[in-house]
Homo-oligomer: A and B are copies of this chain.
């Protein structure tokens, strides 16, 4: 006792309680129906005495279900990710499921490896922020009806549940708000354009669509889609040109950070010199000066729904029909894009 002793198994409990393994198993699975009170007590006591803990691995092997799911994210450091993860874990907890978290860093190779390893570990399902580059593997999972949900991005041609923001709507909200506040020259700021990065693509498209809907000019130079490290430099050029934008639309928090750094370095006033709106309601939005107007994603609802859909697949594997679900962004109006009164002579 107290020594690095060997594991206690069901057999030990059975022996001590003077019953068979099956009876112990019954007990553990709460199938008390045909069990006498005294054997119940005896087993209980034996378990207590030995400090027995069931081995879920063995059970999983038998039952073909591990009670764990895998979640492959781009990077857990990203805020959206942690919020989605928290929501997923909350629904998993209610079902006594656990979550294995992996970072793909948006690298198809890492993603591939994780998918294979997690499936080898017999996870009951997978929620993935997909790189979009492992189509064969995705297809294989749908063919095998392996429970799978995509989130943040969808992959054209792969017919699975996907949880996405209504990105077009988000861009539209931004343009609409700017427009109504009197800003006409609007620039969008984004990481580099990449076909398969759906949110980025859709937000940029949505932006252009909205501009044209509102009859606003679409200037090529106003679409700044660059590596984060070159954004400030480009903005500098833009703002020293003859025709600088009046407003900046950051398609995510990373772009926003670059904009704010640019604004600070160049001592621009917000919103007098530039109005700003971003997608992603960053935690410091309200304490910033000026308080930042943002377009929030319902991240928790999205994570929750992803988990719900996954469990739907897990529990009723057969007749689940995949859907593309769009969640609505909401404007959180603060001060960074407010209409200018005539403080500075500038009128809407």
Contact = CB atoms under 8 A, between A and B. Distances in A.
Interface of A: 2, 4-5, 53-58, 60-61, 66-68, 75-77, 82-83, 85-86, 89, 93, 96, 98-103, 116-122, 143-145, 257, 260-261, 264, 282-284, 286-289, 291, 317
Given A2-B143, A56-B122, 8 more contacts: A57-B61, A61-B61, A75-B86, A99-B101, A99-B102, A257-B283, A261-B287, A289-B289
B98 A118 contact: yes
Contacts of A54: 120
B116 A53 contact: yes
Nearest to A267: B289
Contacts of A86: 75-77, 103
Contacts of A287: 257, 260-261, 264
Contacts of A282: 284
A56 B120 contact: yes
A220 to B, nearest CB: 28
Given A61-B57, A103-B89, A286-B261, A77 B83 contact: yes
Contacts of A67: 121
A121 B143 contact: no
Contacts of A96: 117
Taken together, the copies of this chain in the complex come to 2
Given A5-B144, A102-B98, A89 B76 contact: yes
B98 A98 contact: no
Contacts of A56: 117, 120-122
Contacts of A100: 68, 98-101
Contacts of A120: 53-56
A261 B99 CA distance: 35
Contacts of A61: 55, 57-58, 61
A51 to B, nearest CB: 8
12 contacts: A2-B143, A53-B120, A57-B121, A58-B61, A66-B121, A68-B100, A76-B85, A93-B102, A93-B103, A100-B101, A261-B286, A282-B284
A102 B89 contact: yes
A229 B102 CA distance: 35
Contacts of A82: 76-77, 82
Contacts of A121: 56-57, 66-68, 98
A32 to B, nearest CB: 21
Nearest to A7: B64
Nearest to A318: B4
Nearest to A122: B57
A135 B310 CA distance: 36
A117 B97 CA distance: 10
A54 B76 CA distance: 28
A75 B89 CA distance: 11
